[in-house]
Structure 1
């Protein structure tokens, strides 16, 4: 079985997006099934629901702190337009409010920056298990 995943990384810091991309690629290379990934990036969080549709995104990693909006606002927009989309929130601020609000609003996970590779890998495996029952 070959799996192709379109992943959208939303973070205002390019280094953070590239680090997350690198961890995800490493995880993909370790899988026992053939997997490929196409990555899209956003630094602002604007027009994310439209981009999800236009770019056929399967999985979103979404920062809470963005320059033009908040990740929670974007999460709400995603849930309205794409209720089954897997969205993993990422933040340098792991306050109980951030985590609780994210989960209440429909996030499928929460990863604290700096990234723990194991948590990123767990989120990708959760997506694969949910979508492909592997």
Structure 2
């Protein structure tokens, strides 16, 4: 069975790009959220195997969303997606419970590799 993934990014273009990469990599994208509030709601509803989470978003950023998701499910697997120059935020996200991070602009092999590593 394909592993189920929730994609969280405030940019529709980025969600589409990640979805395309993951689908080609053999994963099933079960949901998309444009902010941290929606991410937490969808996590509870869909119970995905993994979440890709943007850091900078309106309403609730990725770090706050990771903290909430980890409270709901301590075993949640979250990969942070960050732009260059967000190293401090990436460290904060890892401390909040994220398992890995990928840097924009994304390279398909790196995205698929990070997801596969966490889902083994």
Fold conserved (TM > 0.5)? yes
Name 2:3's counterpart in structure 1: 5
Q: CA deviation at 1:9?
A: 0.6
TM-score, with structure 2 as normaliser: 0.90
- Give 1:54's aligned residue: 45
Deviation of the 1:108 alpha carbon: 0.8
Shift of 1:22: 0.7
Q: CA deviation at 1:47?
A: 4.2
Map 1:88-103 to 2 at 5 A: 88-103=79-94
> How far apart in 2 are the matches of 1:15 and 1:112?
16
Any idea what the Cα deviations from partners look like across 1:50-74, whole Å, max 9, x if unmatched? 3222212111000001111111000
Q: Which runs of 5+ in 1 are unaligned?
A: 29-35, 130-134
- Number of aligned residue pairs: give it: 120
Equivalent residue for 2:67, pick from 45, 69, 76: 76
Calculate the aligned-residue CA RMSD, in Å: 1.6
